[in-house]
Structure 1
């Protein structure tokens, strides 16, 4: 029998449960890092990178997360956060206008929701791309291509967001843990996209 599933001395759970616990702790660290709002893209991108590294045998720990975040946080990351914040505020303002009863509001709301969903998918897929560590415009371009080429992956991203939102809505304290599972889902979709492209 292989020793990969064996517990280390002092380890309470097996390796799979350890990864789950690490994912939740990284989610909590990501939630705290996202509190200034403009740091959200960099925080989520770093969480994706750390969890992606777990598949390569690297430790997925909070210490590694903060080390990676400290090493990469730069003006471009804050600019990406400001653009994401401005886009979210514009989207909310558009929906508020549609809800005010303007002529053509129902059609406008549907179109705005479609554009918002597409922008959300591209933005989240950009966070999962390795290019986001150094070049956000390149990551967004590649994520937009991925979103078109891999529609199934884009649907999975929307499903992950819906699940995270539902968990946070059902039990508000879970909102501080959902960035971890969301980052894991994004990293898995990115790995899936790479495998599909490589085959």
Structure 2
């Protein structure tokens, strides 16, 4: 994937439009691969790593994403998916209990929502870190540090998720496209202020 402004012979739209198309194709691939849910963290992490490679003129296509993903889905990757899925079920169950009219339910619901949002931000920022390719614990620790040191980046992650959710809610077919822009946003949040060279190749 070229990052310069020059066009190849016969190229109509230029590299920026090509990158946009690649992001959407990667998003579709992520959505399809993530249907079992437990594969979502590995798929999103791989998408972020593939999109990070654009800075070194490496391909950011759905085909390259699938090739990279085949080297993933190890027990650790599936374990990360199970942890994420379990956390989501726990938060939803807590919110359901809080809405059942229990004493202090409103305060408990706010607390559960805040904890769930914080955990989701850390998990998503971990997917955007290059360490997630082969070391989830290190990626989560780094994401937790980033969430504290860089609240602006965490706010951007929340905004990206809200935008993706709203887009999918407004037009359901967009649900198969939004993982690509979301992965791009997570990658951009991670690389801003850091060196140009990525830490991990895919």
The corresponding residue for 1:170 is 170
1-structure distance, mates of 2:42, 2:16: 27
Q: Which residue of 2 aligns with 1:134?
A: 134
Distance 1:182 1:78 in 2: 21
Counterpart in the other structure of 1:46: 46
Q: TM-score, normalised by structure 2?
A: 0.93
CA RMSD of aligned residues (A): 1.3
User: Which residue number corresponds to residue 103 of structure 1?
Assistant: 103
Q: CA deviation at 1:57?
A: 1.1
Deviation at 1:192, TM superposition (A): 1.3
The TM-score normalised by the length of structure 1 is 0.94
Gap runs ≥5 in structure 1: none
Q: Give deviations 1:86-144, integer Å, cap 9, x for gaps.
A: 00000000000011110001100111110011000000000011111111111111100
Q: Are the counterparts in 2 of residues 24 and 180 from structure 1 also a CA contact under 8 Å?
A: yes
Report how many aligned residue pairs link the two structures.
193
Distance 2:35 2:10 in 1: 34
CA offsets per residue over residues 32-81 of structure 1, 9 Å max, x none? 01001100000000000001111221111111101110012211000000
Aligned partner of 2:27 in structure 1 is: 27
Structure 2: segments with no counterpart, 5+ residues: 196-202
For residue 11 of structure 1, give the secondary structure of its aligned residue in structure 2. coil
CA distance in 2, matches of 1:176, 1:193: 30
